[in-house]
């Protein structure tokens, strides 16, 4: 059976790498970007994710052309003015940071998820995935950045409750430091105290998502926030150069908050047959 995926914000960075990996793994892969560009092999659609009508048109096109959607990767994101590490505290930042970090980084994910769920529940299968961050657990970049990422985790948790029994799963993913082309171009060995040698390639994230979407135990993870580096260890997935990336769990004081830990907040352990 053919598999169809949509990666929002797929023209560069994490989204581009995820889309590239999905294409390599045989997915019919759509990507959105403002200018309608994407990696080779993907079907690029122009879309401004602040325009609800434009988003609806993307899903109409997928339904018309492919007749199904099996995977949504919510990755669309817009940087606030002067983004480069958020060196200023919130009271010295423009209030319209809200419009990018919440208006795009959160609302756009919700809108896309509504459309994806309509297609997926009708088919009785699918995975909605949010690209989130350890910024949900500890301070990272800014107040609004942390708010948006924590909301994505909660959104997946609550969507899973309402999707129960439909065959559709919702999961949020915490990525570590990503070896984007921009970051590698800086010629540095570490960023914010994390080693680039042990960071994640964007394609690594895509391979993890592809494997997760095909996991026979996927439904058991619905509503959870999972760490990509730990999923990679479980599935035996490594970076492009063969190295396993590090989980940043320890650096941020623990693991995901959704669902709440029962006893101890532990990492995803490798299966006995996959260790």
Give 255's DSSP letter.
Answer: S
Neighbours of 192 (CB within 10 A): 10
Kindly state the helix (H) or strand (E) to which residue 169 belongs, with its residue range: strand 168-175
Peptide bond into 259 cis (omega under 30): yes
State the Cα–Cα distance between residues 129 and 225, nearest whole angstrom.
10
State the Cα–Cα distance between residues 225 and 223, nearest whole angstrom.
7
State the Cα–Cα distance between residues 119 and 271, nearest whole angstrom.
32
Q: Which among 30, 110, 145, 235 is annotated as catalytic?
A: 145
State the Cα–Cα distance between residues 126 and 257, nearest whole angstrom.
24
State the Cα–Cα distance between residues 149 and 159, nearest whole angstrom.
15
The number of CA neighbours under 13 Å toward the Cβ of 91 is 0
Please say whether the beta carbons of 19 and 10 come within 8 A: yes
Task: Clarify whether 30 is annotated catalytic.
Answer: no
State the Cα–Cα distance between residues 252 and 242, nearest whole angstrom.
25
Runs of H (alpha helix) within 67-142: 97-101, 107-123
Query: Which residues does residue 171 pair with via DSSP β-bridges, in sequence order?
Result: 129
State the Cα–Cα distance between residues 265 and 165, nearest whole angstrom.
27
Residues annotated as catalytic are 145
């Amino acid at each position: 059976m053919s598999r169809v995926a949509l990666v929002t914000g797929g023209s560069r960075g994490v989204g581009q790498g995820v889309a590239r990996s999905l294409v390599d793994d045989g997915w019919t892969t759509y990507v959105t970007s403002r200018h309608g560009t994407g990696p080779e092999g993907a079907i690029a659609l122009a879309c401004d994710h602040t325009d609800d009508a434009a988003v609806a048109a993307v899903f109409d096109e997928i339904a018309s052309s492919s007749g199904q959607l099996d995977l949504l990767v919510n990755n669309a994101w817009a940087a606030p003015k002067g983004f480069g590490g958020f060196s200023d505290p919130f009271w010295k930042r423009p209030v319209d940071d809200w419009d990018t970090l919440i208006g795009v980084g959160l609302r756009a994910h919700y809108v896309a998820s509504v459309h994806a769920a309509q297609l997926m529940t009708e088919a009785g299968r699918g995975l909605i995935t949010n690209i989130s961050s350890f910024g949900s657990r500890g301070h990272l970049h800014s107040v609004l950045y942390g708010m948006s990422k924590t909301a994505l985790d909660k959104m997946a948790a609550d969507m899973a409750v309402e999707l129960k029994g439909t065959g559709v799963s919702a999961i949020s993913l915490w990525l570590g430091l990503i070896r984007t082309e921009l970051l590698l171009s800086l010629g540095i060995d570490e960023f914010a105290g994390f080693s680039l040698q042990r960071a994640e390639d964007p394609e690594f994230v895509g391979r993890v998502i592809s494997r997760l979407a095909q996991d026979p135990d996927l439904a058991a993870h619905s509503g959870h926030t999972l760490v990509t580096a730990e999923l990679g260890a479980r599935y035996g997935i490594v970076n492009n150069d063969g190295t396993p990336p590090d989980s940043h769990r320890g650096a941020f004081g623990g693991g995901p908050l959704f669902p709440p830990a029962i006893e101890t907040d532990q990492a995803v352990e490798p299966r006995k047959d996959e260790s």
